[in-house]
Chains A and B, each alone.
Chain A
């Protein structure tokens, strides 16, 4: 158990709909990262938050947004869903360490768009 908790584990929704994925980072971790993994694809970085502020953006679509709350949990909002958005969405977290620190992944949220 990595200590990173993601909900829901599975989600089926229709095209055009909007969903929210939730992530609780490891206790004390300030950084939260969101990754997308499509079928037989690698892990694509979407966005990073650090202590409530957006830190870095990767290949995140404009239809997607995220935020990190004062209690450090994070949400990834996916809107106007398309079939191609079906994927595993991972949240990861890391702590604050001057020398560099480990990034731990949650078990993922399986999103199926039908």
Chain B
């Protein structure tokens, strides 16, 4: 099955700096790579995702890059703010066959990001 590794496990940055979180995956059939943000006591919230036919995607201060050959993808947060402090999870999955929907996500172990004011 799929295995997703995520680094670093903790990351502390100063407000305004950039933060980068990296993940690698093992199954070359995976074609969907979302990133989730989890705040304390809440469910994971999707913040950005990328599909394997795209190399980079941006949404305001957040960007994700994908290198299919190397099987790794990264989350970049620029101009970090204290409210970015949370645990971030990367994940991978593949589309299911036509009539059974998406396969379940395999998650990385998470990165605790702390943005110091």
Contacts and interface: CB of A to CB of B under 8 A. Distances in A.
B104 A100 contact: no
Interface string B22-36: 000000000110101
A90 B44 CA distance: 9
B42 A95 contact: no
A100 B105 CA distance: 12
Interface string A83-105: 00000001010111111111111
B107 A42 contact: yes
A105 B106 contact: no
B102 A31 contact: yes
B51 interface: yes
A42 B108 contact: yes
A95 B102 CA distance: 8
Contacts, number: 71
Given A42-B89, A42-B110, A90-B43, A103 B105 contact: yes
Contacts of B108: 42
B20 interface: no
A48 B102 CA distance: 10
Contacts of B105: 33, 43, 45, 92, 103
Given A105-B44, A107-B43, A100 B107 contact: no
A100 B42 contact: no
Contacts of B103: 48, 56
A100 B32 contact: yes
Nearest to A102: B46
Contacts of B98: 98
Given A31-B101, A31-B102, A100 B43 contact: no
Given A2-B43, A101-B102, A102-B34, 8 more contacts: A33-B105, A42-B89, A45-B105, A45-B107, A98-B98, A102-B49, A103-B93, A103-B105
